[in-house]
Amino acid sequence: MGTIFALASAAGKAGVSVVRVSGPGAWDVVERLAGTVPRPRVASVRRLVAPNGDYLDEALVLVFAEGASFTGERVAEFQIHGSIAVVQALLRVLGEMDGLRSAEPGEFTRRALENERLDLSQVEALADLIEAETEQQRRQALRILSGALGLRVGVWRDQIVQAVSLLEATIDFADEDVPVDVSGDVRALLDAVCSEIESELRGMASAERVRLGFEVAIVGPPNAGKSTLLNYLAGREAAITSDVAGTTRDVIEVRMEIGGLAVTLLDTAGLRNSEDQVERIGVARARERASAADLRVHLVPAGEAPLLDQIPGDIVLTAKGDLSGNGVSGLTGLGVPELLDMIEARLSGIVQGAGLVSRERHRIALGEGLMHLKQAKKLLDDGLDVYDIASEEIRIAFRALERLIGYVDVEHVLDRIFSSFCIGK
């Protein structure tokens, strides 16, 4: 591999900017610009001078040895003054050096994957960490980035290898007069793996909602104060409000954080029968989005019932509480703190079941592995004659689980993942 470089911090003015160099020539770059190479992992102040003698900047320089860096290669980092001119000057000098080239999006992380510093699940978690907007998203990303999913798959791998070994030992000695029945031991190993995979699949929906965010729909009849409440929660005029029934025609979305969770609030059209074709479309969309939402907040006029059938967990509140003195009001803020507490409690209950897997790719790999493990268990009931087929089913399951963390057959996934990374990552 060649030596690559890129700005690793955000573009634009900053107090400090970081330029990263990775590859076999990284330390040579430091020697050419700074005169001497600091001891690995020891930050040292150096004057950076271009090969033509131009003084570039005074910088803090760090180097990392091969096998002890993020990419697994020799790495150098220049922490320079964060002006646009200084950054551009250093990048220009690096670009003129023989053997160096500008990094592609995600190339540093891709090298970390290829050098087995990260597995594929950790790469995905790093992308999630970069995109994290809330505390729960940060925690979930760090949990997987720490290698938790890889460790889980490692345990499954050991159990599967042991099961295959037992079966193949029995097959090898099938002609010997040694009547050993290993089916019970193999089944116990497969049962343990299947049980944990099923647990992960059950928790996938919750983990996915943490990663992508929850949807909370505000529903009710026209003029129930839905848009006013949305504006109060958003802290801005996100929706048009008026006394004219049917003002809201389409679903209005506002992204916010509630209890460390990413939540999209949906202001929906007032639910009623209407002769207006556009309003009817809006009401249909309101019903559709409310049905698909993770949680619904029903704003109901005093003495009336919700217009949509309630789902367990739904929140029902009296609309325009400023007039009745109870319920919730987006005009005065009455009941809003209590509403936020209820939303947080409902969504936190969902999050408690979150597992480690949160992507469709994960679900497919786990589902395929589980299917073949269950098929292998069925074959065990048919006796020694089909142990070789059962062993092959277990091997197929093994390969499916290996794909989960990127050990086999994932090349088609990589370009899509790394395209979401910035150049310096």
Numbered residues of the known binding site for Mg(2+): 227, 248
Annotated binding-site residues for (6S)-5-formyl-5,6,7,8-tetrahydrofolate read 20, 77, 117, 425
Annotated binding-site residues for K(+) read 223, 242, 244, 247
Annotated binding-site residues read 20, 77, 117, 223-228, 242-248, 267-270, 425
Give the Cβ contact number of residue 411 at 10 Å: 8
Kindly tell me the burial class for residue 256, based on how many C-beta atoms sit within 10 Å of its own C-beta (0-12, 13-18, 19 or more).
middle
Distance CA 70, CA 64 (A): 9
Do residues 254 and 216 lie in contact, with contact meaning Cβ atoms separated by under 8 Å? no
Distances (CA, A) of 251 to 224, 317, 357: 15, 20, 30
The angle that helices 360-380 and 387-404 make with each other, rounded to 10 degrees, is 170
Annotated binding-site residues for GTP read 223-228, 242-248, 267-270
From the list 63, 66, 74, 71, the residue with the least C-alpha distance to 109 is: 71
Lateral strand order in the sheet of 75-81: 44-49, 55-64, 75-81, 16-22, 3-7, 100-102
Amino acid in position 43:
A
Give the Cβ contact number of residue 381 at 10 Å: 10
> Alpha helix (H) ranges present in 173-268?
183-202, 204-212, 226-234
Distance CA 372, CA 393 (A): 5
Strands 100-102 and 44-49: unpaired
Do residues 167 and 186 lie in contact, with contact meaning Cβ atoms separated by under 8 Å? yes
Q: Which residue has the tokens 């698909």?
A: 292
Integer Rg of the chain from CA = 29
Give the Cβ contact number of residue 365 at 10 Å: 23
Q: Which residue has the tokens 């470089």?
A: 5
Q: Which residue has the tokens 């992204």?
A: 255
Do residues 283 and 270 lie in contact, with contact meaning Cβ atoms separated by under 8 Å? yes
Longest dimension (CA), the chain: 90
Strands 75-81 and 16-22: antiparallel
Amino acid in position 407:
Y
